[in-house]
Amino acid sequence: MPTISGLDLIRTAKETRPQLGSILITAFASTETAVQALRFGADDYLTKPFSIDALRKVVGRVLSSGRMVRDEQAAVRRVRTEADDLRRKSRAVEEDLRLTRIDLDLSRRALEHRVKDLEFIRELTALLAQEEDLDRMLHTTARILAGRFQAVVTRIELDLGDGVRTAENHTQPGATPVLKAMSSALLQRACLLPDGVTKDTVLGYGLPLEALAVVVRLSDQPVGGVTLLRPVQSEDADATDPFLLTLLPQALSVALEGQVNRRAAERNALGVAERIIEALEGRGALFTGHARRVSRVAGAMAGQLGLSPRLRRVIEMAARLHDVGEVGIPDNVLRREGPLDEGEQAVVRMHRTVSGQNVAAIAIACGKTRSRSAPRSSASPRPTTP
């Protein structure tokens, strides 16, 4: 080779193809030449003259060495590939574990919220079941829900067959008209949904607000519902509220069914008392319509005094029944036009006892089991004459 030496050829070949095997064959054998050949990348060294067997041995060594290098390189590549796969799998497992921990933490918090919501509903149910006055029960519910849901305004509308009852709790002036205007639309929409709960975002007072509504049913029939208006909540804070809203009708329905049953018992018991009054009026023991007039006057006075509707109804009922004890007084005593002797006066004094017994029986029939004693009339009994 006139322009390049064998050593230069080996070096150039190694730079081009490092895996290529090479053997330096020379007639100028020396230690320096052998060292240079190995430094330039030769795999072996052969001096002239040489035999075929010597050439075979040298070529065999070079080929074997090349295979070993290639096998080693392949093994290194496999190890690196497997290591990369393991690292990727390890990162994937770590990410799965991280997401699993997050899911478990969210599930745990959701479960804790649900347990708290169930406890809240249990306590609310027990509280409302003890309340006999419907209006006070509704206002208590509105106040408790306003605190639980951080509501600007809470509105409850119910119709148990004697007119629509409403209760409101609001913490911002002017909030009631805003919610009242949309309450019916929200409840109508909630009636169409399987869980009876709806949620929407509305604009109120220049800020986005969240409107929530849930339908209350008795005997599978809607009788009203609860509507709340509150600031828009974060996704985490809002996650369990729909679940709590689906439980709310259960707490209300237990108390409302008690109210319905109690009112039915009251109507039945008062019907009996009405028949007694009518019987007294029919036999001439009372002036016709006297009990109704007294009840009407007493109710008007209670209204003028600003008493609650519940107390007004109690007073009207007491006035209506104030002479019911006369059913136990003989007609000849009731119709006596002159002074009464001592025996007749003793019979008339039984008026209070009989009234107390009759009213106590009516109270028990109405479900008023918490009464500690039968009511007693404080008025001096005297017979009425036609």
The tally of domains found in the chain comes to 2
The pLDDT > 90 percentage for the chain reads: 4
Question: 141 and 240 share a domain?
Answer: yes
Name 187's Cβ contacts closer than 8 Å, sequence gap at least 6.
Answer: 157, 213, 215, 222, 224, 225, 227
Confidence of residue 129 (pLDDT cuts 50, 70, 90): confident
Q: How high is the pLDDT of residue 236?
A: 59
204, β-bridge pairs: 207
Q: What integer pLDDT is reported at residue 36 of this predicted model?
A: 74
- pLDDT, mean of residues 213-240: 80
What average pLDDT does this structure show over 18-46?
72
Check if the beta carbon of residue 168 is closer than 8 Å to that of residue 153.
yes
Residues 216 and 181 in one domain: yes
Please indicate, yes or no, whether residues 265 and 242 belong to a single structural domain of this protein.
no
Final residue of a structural domain among 211, 246, 281: 246
Amino acid letter for position 288: T
Residues 293 and 334 in one domain: yes
Give the pLDDT score at 371: 41
Q: What is the predicted pLDDT for the residue at 210?
A: 87
Residues of the domain holding 160: 134-246
Q: How many Cα neighbours within 13 Å face the side chain of 219? A: 5
Q: Is the pLDDT of residue 63 over 50?
A: yes
| Predicted local confidence at residue 18, as pLDDT | 72
The pair of structure tokens assigned to 185 is 């639309």
Q: Which of 214, 246, 278 is the last residue of a domain?
A: 246
Average pLDDT, rounded, for the chain: 76
pLDDT of residue 42: 75
In a shared domain, residues 242 and 264: no
Q: Model confidence at 83, in pLDDT bands (50, 70, 90)?
A: very high
Q: How many CB atoms lie within 10 A of CB 69?
A: 14
- Answer whether residue 75 is part of any domain: no
Same domain, 198 and 242: yes
Instruction: State yes or no: pLDDT of 292 exceeds 70.
Output: yes
Q: How far apart, in whole angstroms, are the C-alpha atoms of residue 162 and residue 158?
A: 10
- Give yes or no for a contact between 26 and 33, defined as CB atoms under 8 angstroms apart: yes
CATH code of 141's domain: 3.30.450.40
In whole angstroms, give the CA distance from residue 326 to residue 318: 15
Same domain? For 214 and 264 the reply is no
Contact 262, 136 (CB under 8 A): no
For residues 158 and 221, state if they share a domain.
Answer: yes
CATH number, position 301:
1.10.3210.10
Query: H-type helices in the chain, by residue range?
Result: 6-16, 31-39, 52-129, 134-149, 175-191, 235-238, 241-282, 290-304, 309-320, 331-334, 342-365
Same-domain pairing of 170 and 237: yes
Which of 246, 277, 295 is the C-terminal boundary of a domain?
246
* Lowest mean pLDDT across 52-66, 197-211, 361-375: 361-375
Q: Give the integer Cα–Cα distance in Å for 51 and 42.
A: 20
Asked if the model's pLDDT at residue 360 lies above 70, the reply is: no
Peptide bond into 381 cis (omega under 30): no
User: Positive or negative CA dihedral for 376, 380, 383, 386?
Assistant: negative
Task: pLDDT band for 79, please (50, 70, 90 cuts).
Answer: very high
Residues 241 and 267 occupy one common structural domain: no
Residues 6+ apart with CB under 8 A from 205: 172, 174, 175, 178
Mean pLDDT across 89-117: 83
Q: Report how far apart, in Å, the C-alpha atoms of 111 and of each of 92, 117, 145, 235, 243 are.
A: 28, 10, 21, 16, 11
Query: pLDDT digit string (tens) for 170-186?
Result: 876 655 566 677 888 88
Residue 379 pLDDT more than 50? no
> How would residue 85 be classed by pLDDT, with cut points 50, 70 and 90?
very high
What's the mean pLDDT in 224-242? 76
Residue 3 lies in a domain: no
Query: 241 and 280, same structural domain?
Result: no
Q: Per the domain annotation, does 37 fall within a domain?
A: no
Verify that 201 and 146 share a domain, yes or no: yes
* One-letter amino acid for residue 105 of the chain: D
